[in-house]
């Protein structure tokens, strides 16, 4: 069963609350290839073999659009492929701005909440898009989708498609890549030690394996888990741990549960595992740092985004072909992966919406995936959004992680992922604007605990008070 991560009408909040919540937290994204260390800018003349924008206004040649996006590997590939493909076909020049996740979220929030119109397209997630849509910051895409039959909206995975809707039922975003989370491990190292990783491990088993595999090779630690502050950095994986340990940020009546026994047990477990067998510098390790540590052989296991496989299995990766894939570890639930998508949203204030749609249609098309496969290999395709990709035998042959990734995405549901009813949508987040600041503030205190400062109990007591204030706003609504 697929979990449709969408927001119901009762959780739509005003624009001011959203802008403050997102900007103050300067949050990083969840799961998807998160975080980055450098900001880069580039321009591209983009074009593709897809019929992106079919049916849209034809007066887009010789235009330029501005696109702001996270500097993840898949987006960096897009920058490289745009000039000789999309622009060559359409004549539309694309000016890219790429920033690390914490920075890009703050900048996009400021830009779109003010409707400044500087950027036509931005990378947004299934967390932001419903809020942005409900606040009138995004252009609805339904008319473009209806005219652009080659785009094939029906091919988008239902869970991803549903999460792109506003409360009015219209579509406000198109996924670029979709993901859940899973366990990646060095199968060569485990085999050398005579150790076996279960295909559906528990967290207790993973902790035991981390202890046994720790220092299996010089400088290698047992596991990498995000410790960098941020609602979408640390709390992307940590909230899934909390979920499977039986915890939740709020119960169904908006009572805060941050200092509950289950929540505390999960955080204590996470912190202890990192401190005893985790990566060096864990308190500042986000997605990018863990990806680098894993590729460089500094850790034997890593629980994170399913789209990490593209970098891990790239032909120039030193660990290509050495990785095993298993489902995210569990405790009390059947599954514990998250559900996330990096998607494209067009700013309502954009004066180039037709051209912007042509870019979005191309970047999220089947043809773009084929282009990436041809130029960079199937493992680098930004998958996780289209059913046809998972069924493609060439993708299956070139992406050894595809079965585990598909199982992870399809296993996410309220029945499989939680032990109690929730008051809002979201797996690794709570679908309210205030969550970004709430979780980011708490993550700073937990990151300090990982670094040896303070206690989990004290951090959660502080977080409980903040969560109570947030929950009070939603009670009786």
Chain segment 152-172, per-residue pLDDT in tens: 999 999 989 999 999 999 999
Structure tokens at 369: 């995936």
My answer on whether 207 and 194 are in the same domain is yes
My answer on whether 387 and 456 are in the same domain is no
Q: Do 340 and 308 contact (CB within 8 A), yes or no?
A: no
In this predicted model, what pLDDT tens digit does every residue of 304-325 receive, in sequence order?
Answer: 999 999 999 998 999 999 999 9
Query: Could you tell me whether strands 93-99 and 40-47 are parallel, antiparallel, or unpaired per DSSP bridges?
Result: antiparallel
Domain presence at residue 246:
yes
pLDDT at 388: 97
Domain presence at residue 423:
yes
Q: Do 411 and 399 contact (CB within 8 A), yes or no?
A: no
The range of the structural domain enclosing residue 438 comes to 181-337+400-477
Q: Do 299 and 208 contact (CB within 8 A), yes or no?
A: no
Domain presence at residue 62:
yes
On average, the pLDDT of the chain sits at 89
My answer on whether 362 and 381 are in the same domain is yes
Statement: residue 4 has pLDDT above 60: no
Domain presence at residue 4:
no
My answer on whether 116 and 72 are in the same domain is yes
Structure tokens at 211: 């202890």
Domain presence at residue 161:
yes
Please report, rounded to a whole number, the percentage of residues in the chain having pLDDT higher than 90.
Answer: 82
Domain limit, last residue, from 350, 374, 397:
397
Q: Do 285 and 236 contact (CB within 8 A), yes or no?
A: no
Please report, rounded to a whole number, the percentage of residues in the chain having pLDDT higher than 70.
Answer: 87
My answer on whether 277 and 419 are in the same domain is yes
pLDDT at 413: 87
* Domains: count for the chain: 2
Backbone conformation region of residue 35, classed left if phi is above 0, alpha if psi is from -120 to 50, else beta = left
Confidence of residue 256 (pLDDT cuts 50, 70, 90): very high
25 in helix, strand or coil? helix
Query: Could you tell me whether strands 301-305 and 181-186 are parallel, antiparallel, or unpaired per DSSP bridges?
Result: antiparallel
| Helices assigned H by DSSP within 313-365 | 353-363
pLDDT at 275: 99
pLDDT at 102: 78
Residue with tokens 């299934």: 126
My answer on whether 275 and 353 are in the same domain is no
- The CATH number given to whatever domain includes residue 292 is 3.40.190.10
The β-bridge partners of 325 are: 184
pLDDT at 302: 99
Domain limit, last residue, from 397, 420, 443:
397
My answer on whether 235 and 291 are in the same domain is yes
Domain presence at residue 1:
no
Statement: residue 21 has pLDDT above 70: no
Domain limit, last residue, from 373, 397, 421:
397
Q: Do 281 and 252 contact (CB within 8 A), yes or no?
A: no
* Section 252-271 average pLDDT: 99
My answer on whether 114 and 257 are in the same domain is no
Domain presence at residue 269:
yes
My answer on whether 262 and 318 are in the same domain is yes
pLDDT at 476: 78
Closest to 123 in 3D by CA, of 43, 178, 169: 178
My answer on whether 471 and 380 are in the same domain is no
Confidence of residue 101 (pLDDT cuts 50, 70, 90): confident
My answer on whether 469 and 320 are in the same domain is yes
Q: Do 269 and 261 contact (CB within 8 A), yes or no?
A: no
Residues in the chain: 477
Q: Do 148 and 357 contact (CB within 8 A), yes or no?
A: yes
In this predicted model, what pLDDT tens digit does every residue of 108-125 receive, in sequence order?
Answer: 999 999 999 999 999 999
Handedness of CA 114, 117, 119, 121 (dihedral sign): positive
* Section 75-90 average pLDDT: 98
* Section 244-261 average pLDDT: 98
My answer on whether 318 and 348 are in the same domain is no
Domain presence at residue 2:
no
Closest to 401 in 3D by CA, of 302, 284, 297, 257: 302
Q: Where are the beta strands (DSSP E) in 28-89?
A: 40-47, 64-70
Residue with tokens 């599954």: 335
């Amino acid at each position: 069963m697929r979990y449709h991560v969408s927001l119901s009408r009762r959780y739509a909040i005003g624009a001011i609350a959203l802008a403050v919540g997102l900007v103050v937290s300067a949050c990083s994204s969840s799961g998807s290839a998160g975080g980055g260390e450098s900001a880069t800018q580039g321009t591209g003349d983009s074009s593709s073999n897809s019929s992106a924008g079919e049916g849209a206004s034809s007066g887009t040649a010789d235009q330029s659009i501005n696109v702001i996006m996270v500097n993840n590997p898949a987006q960096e590939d897009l920058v490289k492929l745009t000039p000789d493909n999309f622009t060559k076909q359409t004549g539309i020049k694309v000016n890219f701005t790429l920033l690390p996740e914490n920075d890009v979220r703050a900048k996009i929030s400021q830009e779109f909440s003010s409707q400044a119109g500087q950027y036509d397209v931005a990378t947004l997630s299934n967390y932001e898009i419903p809020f942005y849509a409900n606040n009138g910051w995004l252009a609805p895409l339904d008319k473009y989708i209806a005219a652009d039959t080659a785009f094939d909206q029906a091919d988008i995975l239902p869970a991803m498609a549903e999460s792109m809707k506003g409360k009015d039922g219209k579509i406000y975003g198109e996924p670029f890549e979709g993901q859940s989370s899973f366990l990646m491990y060095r199968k060569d190292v485990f085999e050398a030690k005579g150790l076996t990783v279960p295909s559906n491990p528990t967290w207790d088993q993973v902790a035991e394996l981390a202890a046994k595999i720790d220092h299996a090779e010089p400088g290698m630690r047992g596991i990498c888990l995000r410790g960098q502050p941020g609602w979408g950095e640390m709390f992307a994986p940590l909230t899934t741990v909390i979920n499977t340990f039986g915890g939740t940020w709020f119960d169904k009546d908006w009572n805060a549960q941050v200092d509950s026994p289950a929540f505390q047990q999960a955080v204590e477990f996470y912190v202890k595992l990192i401190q005893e067998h985790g990566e060096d510098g864990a308190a500042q390790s986000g997605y990018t740092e863990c990806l680098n540590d894993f590729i460089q052989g500094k850790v034997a296991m890593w629980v994170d985004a399913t789209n990490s496989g593209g970098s891990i299995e790239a032909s120039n990766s030193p660990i290509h072909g050495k990785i095993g894939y298993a489902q995210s570890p569990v405790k009390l639930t059947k599954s514990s992966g998250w559900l996330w998508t990096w998607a494209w949203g067009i700013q309502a204030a954009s004066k180039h919406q037709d051209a912007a749609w042509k870019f979005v249609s191309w970047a999220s098309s089947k043809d773009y995936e084929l282009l990436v496969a041809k130029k960079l290999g199937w493992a680098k395709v930004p998958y996780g959004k289209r059913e046809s990709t998972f069924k493609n035998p060439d993708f299956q042959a070139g992406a050894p992680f595809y079965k585990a990734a598909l199982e992870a995405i399809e296993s996410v549901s309220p029945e499989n992922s939680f032990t109690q009813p929730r008051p809002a949508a979201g797996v690794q987040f709570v679908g309210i604007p205030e969550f970004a600041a709430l979780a980011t503030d708490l993550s700073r205190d937990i990151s300090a605990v990982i670094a040896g400062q303070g206690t989990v109990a004290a951090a959660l007591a502080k977080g409980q008070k903040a969560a109570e204030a947030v929950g009070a706003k939603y009670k009786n609504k």
